[in-house]
Structure 1
Amino acid sequence: MSVMLWAVAAVAVTVAVVTDVRSRRIPNWLTAGLTLAALVLTAFAGIHSLLVALATMSVTFVLGTLAFACGWLGGGDVKLIAALGAVLGWPDTAALLLYTAIGGGLLALIVAGAAGRLGSTLRATFALALPLLYPGVAATAPTEGVKLPYAVAIAFGTLCVAVSHTYVPMLRLAL
């Protein structure tokens, strides 16, 4: 992946974090611009790179749409992750999704701790996991949730992927 593409992605993710923290929204012009830049710049690398970018973006968008339908992600988060799928291609998008999930979990713990709700959050998380440990036990969904600026977690995932290409290659997933 080109340095230019990394730079564009870094700027877009930074703007996404700022807007998501301030207003809990990621603007369409940002995700559309990142998608367009990714597709144009990968096209210069050849048709194969462009097809990989399109396929990765499409699969990521479909998976994100399912998460959106379940209420796990916002629409802007889905579009940002799909745009980053076009930027990163395969297998780096798989790493992005994994590191973003880890970042989201850490963010949730930080927000819950800051709100004085860490204990109840951990109990609710354990209650959701009970059916996995004890088949036949019904899961109890949390009654209320806190909206997280998930662009922060996406930025964490993007940073982990970038670092895996430079300073800490052991972070790279062997796919």
Structure 2
Amino acid sequence: MTAYLAAALVLVFPALVIVAALRDAASYTIPNSISLALLAAFPPAALALGLPLPAIGLHAAIGLVALLAGMAMFAMNWIGGGDAKLFAAAALWLGFPAVASFLLGTCVAGGLLALLLLTLRSARVRPLVTAGPGWLVRLAEPGESVPYGLAICAGALAAFPASPLIGAFRAFA
């Protein structure tokens, strides 16, 4: 495998989580196709980069636990279904120990996102964005949902350098 192919495989993850975040910010939806693409791209990337099968199994277990946690958060109406699936797909890619940084980064980014939305939706700031693009006006709408895909993306990108996949890529390149 060439270094270019290895780099392309590794770049699938950040590209797709960024697309998911942008879609969530613009439409409050994360298409299933993005989470499914992340799920489908992980095994070839992991195998091509030489991750051992036990490590791939650990990634899968982490992804499954994250899916169950995401389903619980969805059941409590804390996050949307697309957020839960993206959360699980990101955890699958990140593995151990990066998943701890992912959780912390997602929580911190979620708190910052909540503060940003509270400010944007305030009586002082909201009138300033009503002439902006439709997605921004919708973000500023009081009572609207929180596009948590943005926080998941931030946490995932912050944790990705600690992922075993990046470690395998560094060893490969």
Given the alignment, which residue of 69, 77, 91 partners 2:75? Answer: 69
- Residue of structure 1 equivalent to 2:146: 148
> For residues 114 and 32 of structure 2, what CA distance do their matches in structure 1 show?
25
Higher helix share: 2
- TM-score computed with the length of structure 2 as normaliser: 0.73
**RMSD in angstroms over aligned alpha carbons?**
2.2
Task: Judge conservation of contact 2:21–2:153 (CA < 8 Å) in 1.
Answer: yes
- Residue of structure 1 equivalent to 2:29: 25
Task: Judge conservation of contact 1:42–1:53 (CA < 8 Å) in 2.
Answer: no
| 2:77 aligned with 1:79 | no
Amino acid at match of 1:105: G
Task: Judge conservation of contact 2:98–2:160 (CA < 8 Å) in 1.
Answer: no
Given the alignment, which residue of 39, 44, 48 partners 2:43? Answer: 39
Task: Judge conservation of contact 1:39–1:53 (CA < 8 Å) in 2.
Answer: no
- Residue of structure 2 equivalent to 1:140: none
Q: Which digits, 9 at most, give the CA deviation of each residue in 1:10-53, with x for residues without a partner?
A: 11011101211111110111101101111232234221122011
Change beyond 3 A, Cα 1:93–1:117 = farther
Amino acid at match of 2:111: G
> For residues 53 and 162 of structure 1, what CA distance do their matches in structure 2 show?
13
SS in 1 for 2:96: coil
| 2:66 aligned with 1:60 | yes
> For residues 117 and 93 of structure 1, what CA distance do their matches in structure 2 show?
38
Residue ranges of structure 1 left out of the alignment (5+ in a row):
119-143, 166-175
Identity over aligned pairs, percent? 33
| 2:95 aligned with 1:95 | no
| 2:164 aligned with 1:158 | no
Amino acid at match of 1:153: A
Number of aligned positions between the proteins:
139
Residue ranges of structure 2 left out of the alignment (5+ in a row):
1-5, 125-141, 164-173
Runs of 4+ in 1 over 2 A off after TM superposition: 2-6, 162-165
Task: Judge conservation of contact 1:5–1:87 (CA < 8 Å) in 2.
Answer: no
Change beyond 3 A, Cα 1:146–1:49 = same
TM superposition shift of 1:159: 2.4
Task: Judge conservation of contact 2:109–2:155 (CA < 8 Å) in 1.
Answer: yes
